[in-house]
Chain A
Amino acid sequence: MLDTLGLLPKSIAPAAIAYLVLCYGLGDVFAQRRAGWLHIPACQNGLGADAAAADVQTGLQQKLVRKYVDIIIKTLPPSMPKDVVRDLNDLTQPETPGRRAQRFADRCTCLASAARSETRFDQTIWVASLRFVEPAGVSNFHGVMTRLDGQGLCGKGRA
């Protein structure tokens, strides 16, 4: 093996190092792009579906909270600052679809970014092998995001 290596031209070593450095940089760029195209939309869809399933229960809870907040507001003395009343009212307001979508987008982007950092070596191997080798960090990128979400890395994990 070492004899064979000795026969290789010396210029192969800097070329190989340059190629690996390039693959390290491109791996992250490609991971970011693929996350934007595939994983973040899938994550947002998943969170949306989870939220829709939880909405029925949340609706009942909100009705109950609204009832008690109304009671609290009625019992407040008139001298109470209006900010407090407004904050209490805000507590019972359902989240608007736009705000919810933005929250999901932020969370999924954060998860994709964390997953990218974690799978950086795998992405490099994937690029350096010209896609012939697909390590777990690349093939199961969404799984890594789900795991990180479960750990509560980017806010509250999925219940």
Chain B
Amino acid sequence: MREETILWRSGAFTVSDTNVRTHRVTVSLTDIDVVEVNRPLLIGAIAFAILLLLLVLRFSDVLLVAELLALIGIGALTVLAGLAVARVQLHSLSIDGIAIVLPIWTARAMRAAIDTAIRGRRENRSARPGRVTP
């Protein structure tokens, strides 16, 4: 029995040359067709930050300087959180879109590792002896 090679690991998430493991499920690479990374909070965070900015502009006569700065700070932090939080979705015909919420840098690294693993698997399959390739 061939031992699997770990390509990437972060906390409970592992990408090997045969499967992707999360703390809940293990998905075989053969089941994964599309890996999608998106930012689920970004639009809401930007909308919230715009509203805070409008609040600051419309109520500048009533707000104290500290409150004004705090509102701007909350808006900026919200946008940063929207940028930092990412969701990795694994799609295929056999699995129903497994979604994992991660920081964007981890999500990108995980996606790159899955892409590499899938590419390596396809190359191995096409280079198998006896197989006729065009």
| A interface residue numbers (CB < 8 A to B) | 9-15, 18-19, 22-23, 26, 29-30, 33-34, 127, 130-131
B54 at the interface (CB under 8 A from A): yes
Are B40 and A10 in contact, with the CB atoms below 8 A?
A: yes
Main SS at interface, chain B = helix
Residue B55 interfacial (CB < 8 Å): yes
Residues 32 to 89 of chain B near chain A (Cβ within 8 Å): 40-45, 47-48, 51-52, 54-55, 58-59, 62, 67, 82
Q: Determine the residue in chain B with the shortest Cβ distance to A29.
A: B67
Q: How many A-B residue pairs have CB under 8 A?
A: 43
Closest to A37 in B: B62
Cβ contact within 8 Å between B41 and A19: no
Q: List 14 A-B contacts (CB under 8 A).
A: A9-B43, A9-B44, A11-B41, A11-B42, A14-B44, A15-B45, A15-B47, A19-B48, A19-B51, A22-B52, A30-B59, A130-B54, A131-B58, A131-B59
Could you list which residues of chain B lie within 8 angstroms of chain A, going by C-beta atoms?
A: 40-45, 47-48, 51-52, 54-55, 58-59, 62, 67, 82
A22: chain B residues within 8 A (beta carbon): 52, 55
Docked Cα-Cα span, A34 to B45, in Å, equals 30
Chain A hits for B51, CB < 8 A: 15, 19
What are the residues of chain B within 8 A of A11 when measuring CB–CB? 40-45, 82
Question: Contact at B62–A33, with CB atoms within 8 Å?
Answer: yes
Q: Which 4 A-B pairs have the closest CB atoms?
A: A11-B44, A15-B44, A15-B48, A9-B43
